[in-house]
């Protein structure tokens, strides 16, 4: 396999992270504008049935919950862009965002483990790690 090709696991992690970010952002916007999370229609309603309980943030005010969803959701776009640009901070940011997104119920419970598993695979780590090793050798020199 040529070195310039991206691993399939990185593509899956990117797709899952962008889908999760889009879901969090859109549900946050719906919560902010309409006061409800759109769970009754379409595929979001089906996936919301897999929720194991209320969100951790149910005791927060509605606009606070909405902004948390919007910020975490849009931050996934920056994290996945950083992964493709091979930035050192990107894997850590995706792991942190995944941990924060895991506290929300619904689609997060399905996509967060997929993202973390794909990032932990050797093919993906091999694509991300060379930048870390290069930086470590520059710092020690």
CA distance 132 to 27: 35
The proportion of the chain whose per-residue pLDDT surpasses 70, expressed as a percent, equals 70
The string of DSSP codes covering 82-125 is HHHTT-THHHHHHHHHHHHHTTS-THHHHHHHHHHHHHHSHHHH
Average pLDDT value for residue range 1-14: 78
pLDDT tens digits, residue range 67-113? Answer: 888 999 999 999 999 988 888 888 899 999 999 888 877 788 889 99
What Rg do the C-alpha atoms of the chain give, in angstroms? 17
Q: Please state, rounded to an integer, the average pLDDT across all residues of the chain.
A: 77
pLDDT value at 130 more than 60: no
pLDDT value at 1 more than 50: no
Closest CA to 106 of 38, 63, 44: 44
């Amino acid at each position: 396999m040529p070195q310039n090709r991206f691993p399939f696991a990185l593509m899956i992690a990117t797709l899952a992270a962008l889908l999760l970010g889009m879901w969090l952002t859109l549900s946050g916007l719906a919560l902010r504008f309409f006061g409800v999370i759109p769970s009754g229609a379409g595929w979001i309603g089906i996936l919301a049935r897999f929720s194991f309980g209320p969100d951790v943030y149910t005791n927060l005010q509605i606009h606070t919950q909405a902004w948390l969803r919007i910020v975490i959701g849009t931050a996934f776009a920056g994290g996945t862009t950083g992964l493709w640009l091979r930035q050192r901070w990107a894997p850590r940011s995706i792991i942190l965002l995944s941990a924060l997104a895991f506290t929300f119920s619904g689609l997060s419970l399905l996509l967060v483990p997929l993202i973390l598993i794909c990032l932990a695979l050797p093919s993906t780590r091999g694509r991300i790690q060379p930048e870390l090793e290069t930086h470590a050798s520059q710092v020690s020199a």
